[in-house]
Amino acid sequence: MVVVVWSFLSVFCDVLTIGILIYWVGIWCVHLIGIVYGCRKFRRRATIQSFDDAVEKGDAVVGVTVLKPLVSKPMDPNLMTNLESYFTISYPKFELRFCIAEEGDPSIMVVKQLMSKYPNVEASLHIGAADVGVNPKINNLYKGYHAARYPLLLMSDAGIFTKPEVLTEMVSCMTENVGIVMQLPYTTDRKGWAASLEKVNFGGNQARFSLFLNLLDQLKMRANLCIGMSILMRKQIFEHAGGIEAFSPYLAEDYFFAEYCQRHGWGVRLSSHPALQNHGVYSVDFHFSRLERWTKLRLKMAPFATFIEPTTKCILLGLVAAAAATVQFQADFLAFFLFHLLAWILSDWLLLNIIQNGSPPFSKFEFAVAWLFHELSAIFVHVKALRDPVIDWRTARYVLHWGGRAEKIDLVSPPAISHSASEKTSQPQPAYPLNDDCSETNKDSRVSII
């Protein structure tokens, strides 16, 4: 009996260690794919010549409505700079719609100043949030969405700074089978420890898996890591789902935008220009609170992936893989782990330089310190998110149910402005249908948009 048990444990140990090493190799394949695909994607930011030719013919270009949800309490000192960058977009056919949740918001004055400064840019203000669901961003965008004149919608957060050529490149990526073009989250060059941490996170771990999953989506494998800081989407898809309000039961509306698109045959593509976050007020606590909130959201939408997420981090994976290699191949534990650690740091440094399209605004030593601090903090952020599932966002608290539906549990904000009978209904709408299919008419109409 003892021999049988020992034999079973020996076989189990072999299978477990080999499985761990195969998983370790798989994660390193993700590294390699991220670097190669990232180099191909972000190192080639030249304009699309054929599309530029079309741009010269203003009537041949599809129009874009830029939706900017603004909540400026407290006031962001970089808001003027960020919003002005959208007034200088070089795309020939677009409109700006600024959506502000309530009267008295200081961003109203900023928008009016910019509208006076750029009278030739088509821009409008929509003040007063609707009450169509729990998602405050959807409530804020409701009026601007229904007033949008063009078939493409660019939804971009208030803290994003853009460059004149970015919208042109994003529209060029919107081919006939693509429903969403997203910008990879990144940051502008800012000073301070918190800014370095953000750049290391978004240019390293976040970028790696975004690039890998986007490549899987191009291979028709429906991998979803859509982050809605700045996304270009077809209004037609929203209309088919029942309008933007159909996504109001979810806080992670961007995830469900992409899920709906993919389920109906549309692809998600990456722009070669990252979304440049340019918040004027930022801190280490703010950065980690965002990571914690995003972890809580993923837990309810993709629980298996969230539970194994710590094993994709460098230190934990390196320790486990080094132990497996020691047991299976009698490798030197310390040498294996240090090699793993050094190779990971170098690969993240290389990927960061690719996303930055040059050298980042700090030294290699500063990068290594920020990277190590971020890696050591990751497990604590994860555990904290698992222990307390309640989400604090803006002035309210939410609890998430399995599948991603949210419920507001502590309403602090003032009541939303109601709609008149002449407007579209502002009553809560059901979430978008989970099992419907696009008709042949809808499928065929995709080509006619662009």
Lowest-pLDDT choice from 161-165, 183-187, 296-300: 296-300
pLDDT surpassing 70 at residue 55: no
Whether the CB-CB separation of 42 and 274 falls below 8 Å is answered with: yes
Stretch 374-394: mean pLDDT, rounded?
Answer: 88
Q: Which pLDDT band holds residue 91 (cuts at 50, 70, 90)?
A: very high
Statement: residue 404 has pLDDT above 60: yes
Active-site residue (options: 254, 285, 410, 437) = 254
The pLDDT of 44-60, averaged and rounded, is: 53
Each domain of the chain, given as residue ranges in start order, spans 1-44+283-417, 62-184+227-282+418-449
Q: Which long-range contacts (CB under 8 A, 24 or more apart) does 373-379 make?
A: 373/197, 374/197, 374/200, 374/201, 375/313, 375/314, 375/315, 376/315, 377/288, 378/310, 378/313, 379/310, 379/313, 379/316
pLDDT at 422: 36
Range in 102-106, 115-119, 185-189, 422-426 the model is least confident about? 422-426
CB 383 within 8 Å of CB 376: no
Segment 224-232 shows an average pLDDT of: 89
Residue 430 has pLDDT above 60, yes or no: no
- Predicted TM-score (pTM) of the model is 0.85
Could you please state the CATH topology (level 3) that the domain comprising 62-184+227-282+418-449 is classified under. Answer: Spore Coat Polysaccharide Biosynthesis Protein SpsA; Chain A (3.90.550)
Number of C-beta neighbours around residue 321 at 10 A: 23
Confidence of residue 438 (pLDDT cuts 50, 70, 90): very low
pLDDT for residue 52: 53
Examine the residue annotation and report whether 131 is marked as an active-site residue of this protein: no
Residues 6+ positions from 73 with CB-CB distance below 8 Å = 105, 106
Alpha-carbon span 16 to 323, nearest angstrom: 11
Q: Are 27 and 57 in contact (CB under 8 A)?
A: no
The pLDDT, as a whole number, for residue 441 is 37
Using pLDDT thresholds of 50, 70 and 90, give the confidence band for residue 332: very high
Residues 69, 408, 292, CA angle at the centre, nearest 5°?
70
Give pLDDT, residue 304.
86
- Residue of 142, 220, 150, 227 whose CA lies nearest to 184: 227
Report yes or no: 230 and 155 within 8 Å, Cβ to Cβ: yes
CA distance 169 to 166: 5
Which of 394, 211, 371 shows the shortest CA–CA distance to 290? 394
Note the pLDDT tens digit of each residue in 94-119. 999 999 998 888 999 999 999 999 99
SS3 203: helix
Whether a cis peptide bond, with omega within 30° of 0, leads into 433 is: no
pLDDT, tens only, 145-178: 999 999 999 999 999 999 999 999 999 999 989 9
